[in-house]
Amino acid sequence: MLWRQDQGGHKRTIRSVAWSPDGRQLATGSFDATTGIWERDEDESGDYECVATLEGHENETKSIAWSKSGALLATCSRDKSVWIWEVEEDNDFECLSVLQEHTQDVKMVAWHPNEELLASASYDDTIKIWRDDDDDWYCSDTLVGHESTVWAIDFSPSGDELVSASADETLKIWKRFVPGNALGIVTQRRGEPIWKCVATVVGKHERCIYSVSWSKVNGLIASSGADNTIRLFEVKDATAPVGTEGRLTAEQQKALNEPGVLFEADKVADVRKAHGTSDINSVAWYPNADHGDWLASGGDDGSVRIWRLEDDRGKLSKSQSQIEDCDDTTDDGMLLSRLKEL
């Protein structure tokens, strides 16, 4: 047990948890509008203890994320704002910025894997990219294209691409184009990169997609949602040779200032009824190569399941991955373990 409610814990549901990159602290974002920072008591019981509480959001905190270096923590809320905190000594946190440009509930925040660049996804159907200029954070780009709530986002291993999952039942892949890029995509503001949609995955998920995770180890995208299915996609280069039939020529693309489809996301596996008939609210790849083939999923059935890829190069064969009505006794070796709610 990590903590009990009577020991300075949250007053309402915890919606989001995130380990600091050094694994020393756990941040918890709660519907009580606060964010808790917890550390493990090294002697005695090994209990987790709240060492700081970040206040400021007016209502439900929806998501929290630590930057790669662990120096920054981002939070977002139903109050439409995104907050960036700087981690200081002695469990102190300093508010660096309060970003209020989303027009609706902000569902998720995600940091770039290497840079101090933040993305946020919202009920206003957009994704915003935030950068800092001498400690002043500003909205560098707004990614418009989804037709409904953007529930989740994750960066590719390089951070040059971003995948988004939406209630419009699509995944979109967005790519960053820097000024002077080879495709000639115009960047509107001086020095400022621009993000463009380079692939849309349509017709794979049958309902809202709630969660997406882009493995930093094997490069596969996992997604899940209200259709009770976990799907894995492999991203392939789809850059068409100039003049290929049915595609815009490079000149035409340039004229439209749209990069067109640069990637294809092929479905390589799916796990139907991964949590029985429950929605699957969350999927996450193991963050590093120690167990790069592990995937965790959390569902409305109150369970967390850990899955393992059969082939750690990511070439998951369909026969092995099609698991219908899976449960604990499945002997396909796919279901590595199962955790019941504490």
Partner 1 sequence: MAFSGALTLSDLNDFISPSQACIKPVEVAKTSDTQGSIKVDNTGSYYEVSQDGSETKLETATIKSVLVTMQSHEELYSILKQNAIARETNDPSTHRTVVVSISPQTRASFAAKYNQTPLQVARKMTWFFKNLGVHSVFDTSFSRDLSLLETGREFVARYKKAVEKGSIKAPNLDGSASTGPKGDGDMDVDEYTPKAPRKRIIRRGAAGVADEPAVPVEVESAMPMLASTCPGWICYAEKTHGYMLPYISETKSPQQIMGSLVKNHFGSQLGLNPDQIYHVCVMPCYDKKLEASRSDFYSDIYSTRDVDCVITSTEVEKMFGEQGQIGMDAFGELDLDLGYNSVVKDPVTGADQVLVGASGNASGGFLEYVMQYAAKELFGVNGVDVDQAVGVEVKTVRNADFREVTLEVPGSGEVLLKFAAAYGFRNIQNLVRKVKTGKSPYHFVEVMACPSGCINGGGQLKPVGDNYATVPLKDWIMQVDQQYRNGVLARKPEENPVLEQLYMEWLGGIDTPKSREQLRTGYHAVEQNLINPLAVKW
Largest CA distance in the chain: 70
Cβ neighbors of 97 (< 8 A, separation 6 or more) are 83, 84, 132, 136, 137
Binding of partner 1 at residue 120 (CB under 8 A)?
Answer: no
Binding of partner 1 at residue 96 (CB under 8 A)?
Answer: yes
Task: State which of residues 6, 135, 245, 341 lies at the interface with partner 1 (CB under 8 A).
Answer: 135
Cβ neighbors of 53 (< 8 A, separation 6 or more) are 34, 35, 36, 37
Binding of partner 1 at residue 104 (CB under 8 A)?
Answer: no
Contact region with partner 1 (CB under 8 A), list: 16-24, 54-62, 246-254, 310-318: 54-62
Type of residue numbered 92: D
Contact region with partner 1 (CB under 8 A), list: 46-54, 178-186, 206-214, 253-261: 46-54
Please, which residues bridge with residue 129 across strands? 119, 141
Binding of partner 1 at residue 154 (CB under 8 A)?
Answer: no
What would you report as the CA-atom Rg of the chain, rounded to the nearest whole angstrom?
A: 20
Are the CB atoms for 175 and 262 separated by under 8 Å? yes
Binding of partner 1 at residue 89 (CB under 8 A)?
Answer: yes
Of 69 and 337, the one with the shorter C-beta distance to partner 1 is: 69
Contact region with partner 1 (CB under 8 A), list: 89-97, 172-180, 182-190, 250-258: 89-97
3-class secondary-structure state, position 337: strand
Q: How far is the CB of 105 from partner 1 (least distance, A)?
A: 8
Binding of partner 1 at residue 115 (CB under 8 A)?
Answer: no
Of 37 and 198, the one with the shorter C-beta distance to partner 1 is: 37
CA distances for 231 relative to 16, 62, 75, 171, 299, angstroms: 22, 24, 28, 11, 14
Q: What is the x/- site pattern for partner 1, positions 164-193, by CB under 8 A? A: ------------------------------
Of 35 and 321, the one with the shorter C-beta distance to partner 1 is: 35
Dist CA 16 CA 111 (whole Å): 15
Task: State which of residues 4, 24, 69, 92 lies at the interface with partner 1 (CB under 8 A).
Answer: 92
Q: Strand pairing of 106-111 and 118-122?
A: antiparallel
Task: State which of residues 6, 22, 90, 237 lies at the interface with partner 1 (CB under 8 A).
Answer: 90
3-class secondary-structure state, position 250: helix
CA atoms within 13 A on the CB side of 103: 5
Of 100 and 257, the one with the shorter C-beta distance to partner 1 is: 100
Calculate ∠ Cα 330-291-302, nearest 5°. 50
Contact region with partner 1 (CB under 8 A), list: 47-55, 182-190, 259-267, 270-278: 47-55
What are the residues binding partner 1 (CB under 8 A)?
Answer: 8-12, 32-34, 36, 39, 41-42, 49-53, 55-56, 58-60, 79-81, 89-101, 135-136, 138
